[in-house]
Amino acid sequence: MRRRRPALQLFSLFGLGPAADGGVTFEAALGDHPPTIARPPADSGPAVDLAGAPARPGGCRADRPVRKLAGMTVPVDLLAERLRRAAEEAARQNVDLLVVTPGTDLRYLLGLDTSTHERLTCLVLAAAGHRAPPAIVVPRLEAPGLAELPLDKLGIEVVTWTDGEDPYLLVSDLAGVPRRVAVADTMPALHVLGLRDALPGVAQTLAGGVLAELRMRKDAAEVAELRTAAEAIDRVHARMGEFLRPGRTEAQVGADIADAIVAEGHTDAAFVIVGSGPNGASPHHDLSDRVIQPGDVVVIDIGGPVDTGYNSDCTRTYAVGGQPGEDVLRTYAVLQEAQEAACRAVRPGVSAESVDAAARQVIAAAGFGEQFVHRTGHGIGLDVHEAPYIVGGNELELAPGMAFSVEPGIYLDGRWGARIEDIVVVTEHGGERLNGRPRDLVVL
């Protein structure tokens, strides 16, 4: 199909100077437990496969209208500050232009909560030092959905396009002649390649490394949202005796937990892991039809977003149908000590990897080093898994406002597993756990 260039006379083109070649570091965003869903959110369409359809960005319907952020109106001054800092960080990382499609980065920058689809919507934000104003490119039919965003106050131009036109050429008209364009990490390949064709010869890189610099340091309001989410998931764990009993399947227990996650204040259950007996030895197990047996050790790892988009994620390990054996208690005590040691290691100025090491040393010293098969934790915020990652090799210095999980585990193949997970926020002098449920092996 012939590419139709939409009319665009809004801006003078950028006058971009030469940019030094610089690497943009990008931390792999793979989580140790990619969210799985136990129940579709109430407003989603068809039922979601229990066995692991991704919860987000699922639920994407082709013509779902843009809607504004529910539940929390981010103050316009704060959004302006985020946009300014994003532009500065882009310049610092030798990126000329950020192109951000719907997703958590856009939610962070604009308070815009919508899903991405085949029609291009994106924020086009020039790095600091470039003269062009920011713009949002949006299909004309979805432009009314932007009405409640403070775009005027933020100085963001709205550039619409109509079916049949080529929106990538619009972006290129806005972009002028950049050297490096950073695209949102979750931008569909459809749009990445469309943009590449419209900006031939321009290097593409990921915007995640730029925006993570902002997003991983939470402000007080964001920490408050994470605290709200943590308290909500704590209430679900507090009710576990209602759901978790021998004779029920993991899937039955998981369905009840998913209901409770919503009932206790989340918008949906992003993931529900019920790993009973041998299934607990697989960290990414979600749910199965295995019938829970008396004496099983059961790993319950659950979470989801509250209405502002901030997530909970908390694991407790339970013993059902009676007291567990001595070996279970001894091994669990090692895990508890490791989790405690890692939480105590959190303070500003230490490296992310040192927190991982604090947990790993305890577990390895007890002879279970080979059975702790994942990193100690991941950042959390608008995404369940985001920077900073608490993993060997990550020398990032922790700073106040960073929030992440501390979730060591011990997995005994074919027998059972255990994990303890709290969300920890770095404070001025140490770390604060947002989850408050007891960390002992809970006997139900």
Handedness of CA 291, 293, 299, 301 (dihedral sign): positive
Q: At what angle do helices 326-345 and 352-365 cross, to 10 degrees?
A: 160
| Closer of 182 and 302 to Zn ion (Cβ) | 302
Cα–Cα distance between 319 and 312 in angstroms, integer?
Answer: 23
Q: Is position 311 an interface residue for Zn ion (rule: CB under 5 A)? A: no
Dihedral pair phi/psi, residue 59, rounded to 5°: 75, 10
Say whether residue 313 binds Zn ion (CB under 5 A): yes
The answer for residues whose C-beta is within 8 angstroms of residue 396's C-beta and 6 or more apart is 351, 352, 387, 388
Which H/E stretch holds residue 307?
none
State the Cα–Cα distance between residues 431 and 396, nearest whole angstrom: 16
Q: Which stretch in 24-32, 164-172, 176-184, 329-337 sits in contact with Zn ion by CB under 5 A?
A: 24-32
Shortest distance, position 52 Cβ to Zn ion, whole Å: 14
Residue identified by tokens 């003269």 is: 131
Identify which of residues 36 and 405 has a Cβ nearer to Zn ion in the complex: 405
Q: How far is it, in rounded angstroms, from Cα 185 to Cα 179? A: 18
Cα separation, 115 vs 135, whole angstroms: 18
Q: Does 301 bind Zn ion (CB under 5 A)?
A: yes
C-alpha 91/C-alpha 126 separation (Å) is 9
Q: Which is nearer to Zn ion, 135 or 270 (CB)?
A: 270
The single residue among 14, 24, 27, 33 that binds Zn ion, judged by CB under 5 A, is: 33
Enter the tokens of residue 394. 């990550």
**Binding of residue 32 to Zn ion (CB under 5 A):** yes
Rule CB under 5 A: is residue 180 a binding residue for Zn ion? Answer: no
As measured in angstroms, the least distance from the Cβ of 211 to Zn ion is 21
Largest CA distance in the chain: 75
Give the nearest distance from C-beta 33 to Zn ion in angstroms. Answer: 3
Q: Which is nearer to Zn ion, 186 or 405 (CB)?
A: 405
Q: What number of chain residues touch Zn ion (CB under 5 A)?
A: 7
Output 109 or 390, the one with its CB closest to Zn ion. Answer: 390
Supply the minimum distance, in Å, between the C-beta of residue 435 and Zn ion. Answer: 11
Q: Give the tokens for residue 226.
A: 């994470």
Give the nearest distance from C-beta 411 to Zn ion in angstroms.
Answer: 12
SS3 breakdown of the chain: % helix, strand, coil, rounded to 5? 30, 20, 50
Q: Does 286 bind Zn ion (CB under 5 A)?
A: no
CB atoms within 10 A of CB 322: 12
Helices (H) and strands (E) in the chain, counts: 11, 19
Query: Closest CB to Zn ion belongs to which residue?
Result: 33
Q: Taking contact as CB under 5 A, which single stretch among the options 27-35, 38-46, 48-56, 156-164 is the one that binds Zn ion?
A: 27-35
Closest distance between Zn ion and the C-beta of residue 315, in Å?
5
Least distance in angstroms from the C-beta of 284 to Zn ion: 8
Residues from 384 through 443 that contact Zn ion (CB under 5 A) = 405, 421
Taking the least distance from each CB to Zn ion, the nearer of 32 and 234 is 32
356 to 375: interface string for Zn ion, x by CB under 5 A: --------------------
Under the rule (CB under 5 A), what is the footprint of Zn ion?
Answer: 32-33, 301, 313, 315, 405, 421
